[in-house]
Amino acid sequence: MSSLRMPATAVIAFFFLLGVTVSAQEFRGTILGRVTDPSGSVVPNVSITVTNQDTQAKYGAVTNGDGNYSVPFVTPGTYTVAVVAPGFKGIVRPGIPVRIDDKIALDFALDVGQTSEKITVHADSPVLDTSSAEMGQVVDASQIEHLPMDSDNPMNLVAMAGGVIGGSGNQMANGQNWISINGGSGLLAGNDITVDGVSNVNPRAGGMAVTAPSMDAVQEFKVVTTLFDASNGHSNGGAISFTTKSGTNSLHGTVFGYLANADYNANGWQRNSLGLPRLPAGFQRWGGTAGGPVNLPKPVAYRGKD
């Protein structure tokens, strides 16, 4: 009697072919550029340190033989870039904003001097994403906080981007993804929606958005309308990427409340003309957010008797 054996890799591949898919799109940004000396020649082996100004998280890179560097996977936030090379003065440039899927090009020209000498650069002009051809709109935390809304669903703000029509309902509404981006349909998974890089649509329900994070939990979101890269290429409409707030080195939080009451509403013209009373309205929703540092305990060596 013969037996059939399949390697583990084949079994795993078989289950993926059944249609079980786990997709993710990159929402983090990249800071890249070139470092040169006073003569314009490239400088290799330059240390680049990118520091988040809120959390002090650090990212590092070193320039290659062509003087180029790239710091990928930078979470959205505001950063300080420090450049250090032997025989040259150091450069520090604070206040670099990195938004969803940004590719920020920063070139540095070093001056001869002691490494301990630091040149701090404060640029008034905005930093532009010149490394990508995609078009879209970023809605940041300030806009989310100050624009008037009748619900707690940030999907209602996607129409701020050019070429976008739609956006309605609360977090549990079926029509959250019924949004037309540059003429494309939001039905049948026409738009790609991600939260922190994780897919947020249900392909078995016509591409319906699973849910949307609370307004107070969203740091910013981006609506890409055209010329997006291959990670979003399966969409025939557009791509909407949310990034949620992260903790900082200090405690912070918010408290919110939504109240709908018939006493605050005027009667509609048609009901008023028919002598009908105002429609009842009663909705209350309260909540809040909290964030801060997490102190992890230091590891203790195991001594074999405790």
Specify the pLDDT at position 13: 45
Torsion of CA 55, 61, 63, 68, to 10 degrees: -70
Residue 17 lies in a domain: no
Query: For each successive 10 residues of the chain (306 residues), what is the average pLDDT?
Result: 45 40 66 92 94 90 94 91 92 90 89 80 62 71 80 79 69 62 67 81 68 81 74 70 81 80 83 88 79 74 56
Q: Are residues 153 and 87 in the same domain?
A: no
Residue 7 covered by a domain: no
In a shared domain, residues 95 and 188: no
Co-location of 258 and 184 in the same domain: no
- Indicate the SS3 state at residue 122: coil
pLDDT for the residue numbered 21: 41
Asked if the structure places residue 168 within a domain, the reply is: yes
Instruction: From residue 304, give the alpha-carbon distance in Å to each of 80, 195, 298, 299.
Output: 45, 45, 18, 15
- pLDDT in the model for residue 23: 47
Query: Are residues 175 and 109 both part of a single domain?
Result: no
The answer on 144 and 94 residing in a single domain is: no
How high is the pLDDT of residue 127?
A: 61
> Phi-psi region for residue 298, left (φ > 0), alpha (ψ -120 to 50) or beta?
beta
74 with 32: CB under 8 angstroms?
Answer: no
Domain ranges, residue 269: 252-291
Residue 78 near residue 53 (C-beta atoms within 8 A)? yes
What is the C-alpha end-to-end distance of the chain, expressed in Å?
55
Q: Judge contact between 25 and 241, C-beta under 8 A.
A: yes
User: Is 298 a domain residue?
Assistant: no
The number of folded domains in the chain is 3
Other beta carbons less than 10 A from residue 15's beta carbon: 9
Of the residues 120, 151, 181, the one at which a domain ends: 120
Report the pLDDT value the prediction gives residue 94, as an integer from 0 to 100.
Answer: 92
Which of 205, 226, 244 is the last residue in one of the domains? Answer: 244
237, 146: one domain? yes
pLDDT value of position 70: 94
pLDDT given at position 85: 92
Q: What is the CATH number of the domain that holds 179?
A: 2.170.130.10
> For position 301, what pLDDT does the model report?
59
Q: Does the residue 190 lie in any domain? A: yes
Same domain, 239 and 140: yes
